[in-house]
Structure 1
């Protein structure tokens, strides 16, 4: 991935995705965690603790090459996003909880992502100079994640009608941007693509399926109701892969096309598995109600 145009456009592409997120958020979304304390705490623990641990076990089990292993963990540490909210809405989840979890996860990821990146790079790539996020790079991640969200929230607060009108177009543009970024990564690495899919495809699929099931199942075991568990399942199973890819490709961050590959593969897989997961839990819910 050596196209200067693509590399230069990545931060702007991510900015569109994060701006779209901010346009749908208010400060009440952060305060609302008190309305769903059990669901929010369980989902956040799954996102911040369980997911990286599961991903670490899977990359070891699948014996992924070091760069692909790091890329998988970058995906695991990336928060959910507007796509998770959309799937939750389609399949009967508690969308308000989704929005709250997305808001909190997006803020927390500015701190947790660098930790996961540094730990995974130190473990899998101990001899690679320059891999990992130092303080200046951590600050850059913080700015990339939070500034567009803050701008979107400011527009929402000061000009709610403008935010309302922009919300749908920016959401659609966010999906288009995500697909374009994924396509650009895959096209840039087309000569190695078959090998990458063989190496990381099953691991990405397994991680996505486990994430969706854990995101739904763990809250249910903790006594969380079905709609809230659906919201948690999509929030934990659907990641902001545009963020993961940008961190991997950015010349001032990880600067590695190989590390970006798991994000691109996961970004394709998650649309299909999330749809299947949504249909499955909807059918189970209907069956339970009919008894």
Structure 2
């Protein structure tokens, strides 16, 4: 039952949520980002350069077995998932920036992910299988992110009053759907979570919190506005665990290598929610 919720229900639920995000966006949001590219550049630098370095340091610090260490690096190299856009929406981030970052990262990952993973295999597991990222998976992420959003934007363009009226109900519905997704994810991965909790929980929690923190604090230190920093935090901090699992199991043919992403895929939901509450508490309307 839990597996069905995550495999079938999650994409449907996120599609509905992304449609709701589209209702709150206009083309002007994306034009504004093009005029201020610093936020995009900083977030991409955090995602593509800082995170792999941080993760590599963690796998050495926690002394993970090579197969799990490579699995963590695979997770670190995976682009942000659609869940990042949902959290950005819930915690008043710049959703247009977040969606743009997710789309850009999904394309860049075609090159960056194989580079990071192959270097990790060479350093941590010499003689391991080389990896290439299936382009169809990038297209899938791209379409899940942009398809429903474009539809929502079209509805807003045709029915702006309806889109405005739906803002609050969509946010409430998003919280309800997110709760169901968390329950489903925990249920589907319960056995994996329990059997690997001791070996992986520490590094997964540390990596997730560091990713979120880096994604938020680096832009803030560089004087990037709060809403864009929130978007950066969730884009940099929430990875596409499903993509990492698919590559580990289908491309590398190594189920054990998928375990870090499986554990992360469950723990990231409550960790990101707690982080969002922490950084937005008392900051409503702050820039």
Name the TM tier (shorter chain).
0.7 to 0.9
Q: Contact between 1:110 and 1:142, CA under 8 Å: does it hold in 2? A: yes
Q: Contact between 2:248 and 2:254, CA under 8 Å: does it hold in 1? A: yes
- 2:260 corresponds to which of 259, 262, 268: 262
Match of 2:167 in 1: none
Match of 1:231 in 2: 231
Residues 1:95 and 2:95 aligned together: yes
Match of 2:117 in 1: 117
Cα displacement (A) at 1:279: 1.3
Q: Contact between 2:93 and 2:229, CA under 8 Å: does it hold in 1? A: yes
Cα displacement (A) at 1:225: 0.9
Structure 1 residues 114-123 or 56-65, which shifts more?
A: 114-123
Cα displacement (A) at 1:227: 1.1
Listed as ranges, the gaps of 5+ residues in structure 1 are 1-5
Listed as ranges, the gaps of 5+ residues in structure 2 are 164-169
Residues 1:207 and 2:219 aligned together: no
Cα displacement (A) at 1:260: 1.0
Cα displacement (A) at 1:44: 0.8
Q: Aligned equivalents of 1:81 and 1:180: distance in 2?
A: 17
Cα displacement (A) at 1:152: 6.4
Match of 1:246 in 2: 246
Match of 2:71 in 1: 71
SS of the residue corresponding to residue 275 of structure 1 reads helix
Cα deviation 1:209-231 (Å, max 9, x = unaligned): 11111110000011101111111
Structure 1 residues 211-220 or 270-279, which shifts more?
A: 270-279
Q: Aligned equivalents of 1:178 and 1:257: distance in 2?
A: 23
SS of the residue corresponding to residue 285 of structure 1 reads coil
Match of 2:280 in 1: 282
Q: Aligned equivalents of 1:173 and 1:132: distance in 2?
A: 38
Cα deviation 1:44-77 (Å, max 9, x = unaligned): 1101111111111111111111111111111111
Q: Contact between 2:71 and 2:261, CA under 8 Å: does it hold in 1? A: yes
| Cα-Cα RMSD | 3.8
Q: Contact between 1:68 and 1:262, CA under 8 Å: does it hold in 2? A: yes
Cα displacement (A) at 1:33: 3.8
Q: Contact between 2:248 and 2:258, CA under 8 Å: does it hold in 1? A: yes
Q: Contact between 2:204 and 2:263, CA under 8 Å: does it hold in 1? A: yes
Aligned structure 1 segments of 4 or more residues deviating by more than 2 angstroms: 12-26, 28-33, 137-161, 172-187, 283-286
Cα deviation 1:207-265 (Å, max 9, x = unaligned): 0011111110000011101111111111111111111111112x3x0122211111111
Q: Aligned equivalents of 2:50 and 2:18: distance in 1?
A: 26
Match of 2:52 in 1: 52
